[in-house]
């Protein structure tokens, strides 16, 4: 990594130490037929804490917490575009930037935006643009800045980013067609195929030889994602019943994917209620 | 014919003549947000807010919120200091916290605040870097102390330093074993005094910042973002837990007399005592 001359300099390179677990350490595996948080069912989401108005300088702001996933979002705009020479456009633009704090993940992240963050920023812009009435502010730009303070599962981060950005946009008073709720799910195999029955960690009975139907874990956390075969993140507009973005990775059968999309849509409707509640609370606060 | 008199609503007047608007308040001994001239905004400190960090703290001074996380990694020591580790503080002022900051590399203000805090930590010898040595000449701990400003409403220096000190106080690092060029730590189970160690901080500096208004000769404690933008200068006084000065920084074109400096130091002593009480409450 090039030395960043604009920051207080540390050593040229550093690594995290190797973690050695004791012999009797039993990490969580999905083969115990329970989720990492044993109180959760496969279709349960983590409780969401959503609050607006924490950044006074921003036009709109929101903060979301899904237990250990914490994101803040600040929305600035509509404000005039700096370079007006780019040609007149009768639609405004939406610019989204997401940044993981260096301490947000188990392995320390770099201070400069890396490719993953740039890709995520694109995904967020694509998922939020259909919901915002950009034709109402030509020659203007809305900037959405998201900082991930703590990350517990990549899918849940992306989903929470959609949710927090929509709430912040609404808090800023930017007209939208609908709020965008985000939800994630992971496909996790909960049993080992019979060919590996000699494995000593297997406790669950094995399914038919070869094919394992993975279970759909809604809102998977970091430990559960380690075992996933694939995952899906859905951005959905609940009132209009339209999906703005789907991001599916890994391998899964078509039936599993359509089932998980249905689960995600149901979950998004629940998240929508939480988003509305947070926005109504912020209006009550303003009245006071 | 009589000349018409101009009248403005307060908000218009504030936009047209910010300094004059401000003076109307300070001559009465208050500020537009209702505070007295020497009052600091309500401050809260929360420890252990980020579980992925070795230690973390969140400090709120009025509308300014800073979250600090400490991450410990291993690196080769410098050739001229083979038994010393690294302490790397940095303050991030992202475009999210205020429209003053543009996306991209750190702004001048961020660089200045980071360097000021680095200077306080190094010159005050807050931490003996030899405590961070694992294997002399081969491996040492690097403590990356990153303070992210989540919301900006002035006085970033006080908030960032308080967050960094609160986080450093509670750092817990697993005891490492050095084996043929790799560093191993034990995982699983909770960190206890047996498998981990805490930092021995020699001093705990905390600061109090004041804004100077040249024309009205007023000193305001803990300026918010509007007061910062119209102030002529700033003084930051840093004191350690015994009341000894760790640093005095005066920036800007304003001049102030010795008695004003003494008053600031007295006010800073009271403020840092209050801040330490808040920090130890959690």
Tell me, yes or no, if B123 comes closer than 8 A to chain A by beta carbon.
no
Question: Which of A70, A145, A150 is closest, CB to CB, to B96?
Answer: A145
Report residue A161: phi and psi, to 5°. -65, -45
Residue B212, C-beta contacts closer than 8 angstroms, at least 6 positions apart = B218, B219, B231, B232, B233, B234, B235, B252, B254, B256, B260
- Inter-chain contact A7–B53, Cβ cutoff 8 Å? no
Please indicate, yes or no, if residue A64 is contained in any of the structural domains: yes
Handedness of CA A217, A222, A228, A232 (dihedral sign): positive
Please indicate, yes or no, if residue B21 is contained in any of the structural domains: no
- pTM value? 0.90
Chain A residues with beta carbon closer than 8 angstroms to that of B71: 102-103, 108
Which tokens go with A230?
Answer: 């694939």
pLDDT digits (tens, 9 = 90+) for A28-59: 888 887 888 888 888 899 999 999 999 999 99
Q: Are A100 and A117 in contact (CB under 8 A)?
A: yes
- Inter-chain contact A149–B50, Cβ cutoff 8 Å? yes
Please indicate, yes or no, if residue A238 is contained in any of the structural domains: yes
Tell me, yes or no, if B132 comes closer than 8 A to chain A by beta carbon.
no
Q: Are B134 and B52 in contact (CB under 8 A)?
A: no
Q: Say what the ipTM of the complex is.
A: 0.90
Q: Chain B window 57-116: which residues touch A at a Cβ cutoff of 8 Å?
A: 63, 65, 67, 69-71, 73-78, 86, 88-90, 92, 94-100, 103, 105-106, 111, 114-115
Chain B residues with beta carbon closer than 8 angstroms to that of A151: 52
pLDDT digits (tens, 9 = 90+) for B94-142: 999 999 999 888 999 999 999 999 999 999 999 999 999 988 888 999 9
Please indicate, yes or no, if residue A141 is contained in any of the structural domains: yes
How many helices and strands (H and E) does chain B possess? Answer: 6, 14
Q: Are B25 and B114 in contact (CB under 8 A)?
A: no
CATH code of the domain containing B202: 3.30.230.70
Chain A residues with beta carbon closer than 8 angstroms to that of B188: 21-22, 25, 27
Mean pLDDT of A160-177: 96
Please indicate, yes or no, if residue A155 is contained in any of the structural domains: yes
Q: Strand pairing of A60-66 and A48-52?
A: antiparallel
Among the ranges given (A60-69, A192-201, B9-18, B216-225), the one the predictor scored with the smallest mean pLDDT: A192-201
Query: How many domains are there within chain A?
Result: 1
Distance in angstroms (rounded) separating the CA atoms of residues A167 and A52? 8
In this prediction, residue A193 carries a pLDDT of 64
Distance in angstroms (rounded) separating the CA atoms of residues B25 and A169? 35
Q: How confident is the model at residue A115 (pLDDT cuts 50, 70, 90)?
A: very high
- β-strand partners of A73: A62, A146
**What is the domain extent for residue B124?**
32-280
Looking at chain B, which residue has its C-alpha nearest residue A72? B150
Q: How confident is the model at residue A208 (pLDDT cuts 50, 70, 90)?
A: very low
In this prediction, residue A284 carries a pLDDT of 85
Distance in angstroms (rounded) separating the CA atoms of residues A209 and A206? 8
Please indicate, yes or no, if residue A1 is contained in any of the structural domains: no
Residue A41, C-beta contacts closer than 8 angstroms, at least 6 positions apart = A35
Chain B residues with beta carbon closer than 8 angstroms to that of A97: 95, 103
Please indicate, yes or no, if residue B11 is contained in any of the structural domains: no
pLDDT digits (tens, 9 = 90+) for B226-253: 999 888 889 999 999 998 998 898 888 7
Please indicate, yes or no, if residue A68 is contained in any of the structural domains: yes
Query: How crowded is residue B136: how many other Cβ atoms within 10 Å of its Cβ?
Result: 12
Chain A residues with beta carbon closer than 8 angstroms to that of B52: 68, 103-106, 150-151
Mean pLDDT of A181-196: 81
Question: Which of A54, A72, A103 is closest, CB to CB, to B53?
Answer: A103
Please indicate, yes or no, if residue B26 is contained in any of the structural domains: no
CATH code of the domain containing A223: 3.30.230.70
The continuous run of DSSP H or E covering B178 comes out as strand B176-179
**What is the domain extent for residue A266?**
48-81+88-192+213-287
In this prediction, residue B254 carries a pLDDT of 76
Please indicate, yes or no, if residue A267 is contained in any of the structural domains: yes
Mean pLDDT of A95-119: 93
- Inter-chain contact B50–A104, Cβ cutoff 8 Å? yes
In this prediction, residue A288 carries a pLDDT of 53
Could you give the C-alpha distances from B103 to A71, A95, B65, B154, in angstroms and in order? 18, 11, 19, 19
pLDDT digits (tens, 9 = 90+) for B57-105: 999 999 999 999 999 999 999 999 999 999 999 999 999 999 999 988 8
Looking at chain B, which residue has its C-alpha nearest residue A102? B146
Please indicate, yes or no, if residue B67 is contained in any of the structural domains: yes
Q: Are A74 and A58 in contact (CB under 8 A)?
A: yes
Helix, strand or coil, per DSSP, at residue A266: helix
In this prediction, residue A199 carries a pLDDT of 44
In this prediction, residue B265 carries a pLDDT of 92
Task: Evaluate if residue B55 carries a pLDDT over 80.
Answer: yes
Asked if residue B113 has a cis previous peptide bond (ω within 30° of 0), the answer is no
Looking at chain A, which residue has its C-alpha nearest residue B134? A17
Query: How many domains are there within chain B?
Result: 1
Please indicate, yes or no, if residue A219 is contained in any of the structural domains: yes
Please indicate, yes or no, if residue B275 is contained in any of the structural domains: yes
């Amino acid at each position: 990594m090039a030395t960043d001359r604009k920051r207080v300099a540390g050593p040229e390179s550093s690594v995290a130490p190797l973690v050695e677990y004791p012999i009797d350490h039993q990490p969580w595996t999905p083969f115990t037929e329970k989720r990492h948080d044993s109180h959760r069912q496969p279709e349960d989401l983590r409780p969401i804490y959503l609050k607006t108005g924490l950044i006074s300088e921003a036009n709109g702001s929101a903060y979301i917490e899904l237990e250990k996933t914490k994101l803040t979002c600040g929305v600035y705009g509509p404000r005039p575009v700096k370079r007006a020479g780019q040609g007149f456009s009768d639609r405004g633009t939406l610019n989204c930037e997401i940044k993981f704090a260096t301490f947000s993940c188990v392995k320390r992240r770099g201070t400069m935006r890396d490719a993953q963050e740039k890709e995520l920023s694109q995904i967020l812009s694509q998922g939020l643009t259909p919901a915002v009435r950009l034709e109402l502010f030509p020659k203007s730009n809305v900037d959405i800045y998201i900082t991930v303070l703590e990350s517990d599962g990549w899918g849940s981060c992306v989903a929470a980013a959609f949710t927090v950005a929509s709430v912040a946009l609404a808090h800023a008073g930017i007209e939208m067609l609908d709020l965008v709720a985000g939800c994630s799910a992971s496909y996790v195999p909960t049993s080992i195929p019979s060919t590996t029955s000699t494995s000593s960690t297997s406790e669950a009975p094995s399914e038919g030889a070869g094919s394992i139907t993975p279970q759909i874990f809604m809102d998977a956390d970091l430990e559960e994602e380690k075992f996933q075969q694939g995952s899906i993140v859905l951005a959905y507009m609940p009132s209009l019943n339209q999906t703005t973005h789907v991001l599916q990775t890994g391998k899964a059968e078509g039936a599993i994917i359509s089932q998980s999309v249905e689960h995600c849509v149901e979950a998004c409707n629940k998240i929508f209620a939480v988003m509305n509640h947070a926005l109504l609370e912020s209006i009550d606060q303003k009245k006071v | 014919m009589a000349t018409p008199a101009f009248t403005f609503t307060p908000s218009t007047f504030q936009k047209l003549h910010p300094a004059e608007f401000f003076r109307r308040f300070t001559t009465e001994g208050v500020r537009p947000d209702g505070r007295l001239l020497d009052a600091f905004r309500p401050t809260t400190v929360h420890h252990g807010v980020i579980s992925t960090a070795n230690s973390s703290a969140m400090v709120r001074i009025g509308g300014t919120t800073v979250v600090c996380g400490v991450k410990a990694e291993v690196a080769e020591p410098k050739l001229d200091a083979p038994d010393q580790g690294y302490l790397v503080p940095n303050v991030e002022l992202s475009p999210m916290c205020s429209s003053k900051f543009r996306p991209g590399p750190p702004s001048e203000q961020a660089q200045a605040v980071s360097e000021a805090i680095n200077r306080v930590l190094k010159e005050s010898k807050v931490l003996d870097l030899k405590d961070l040595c694992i294997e002399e000449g081969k491996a040492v701990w690097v403590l990356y102390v990153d303070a992210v400003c989540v919301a900006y409403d002035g006085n970033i220096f006080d908030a960032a330093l308080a967050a960094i000190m609160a986080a450093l106080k509670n750092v817990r690092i697993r005891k490492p074993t050095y084996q043929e060029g790799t560093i191993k730590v034990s995982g699983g189970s909770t960190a206890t005094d047996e498998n981990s160690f805490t930092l021995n901080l020699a001093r705990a500096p905390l600061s109090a910042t004041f804004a100077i208004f040249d024309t009205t000769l007023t000193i305001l404690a803990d300026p918010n973002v509007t007061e910062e933008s119209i102030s002529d200068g700033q003084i930051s006084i840093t004191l350690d837990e015994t009341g000894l000065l760790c640093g005095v920084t005066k920036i800007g074109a304003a001049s102030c007399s010795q008695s004003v400096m003494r008053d600031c130091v007295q006010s800073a002593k009271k403020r840092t005592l209050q801040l330490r009480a808040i920090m130890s409450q959690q």
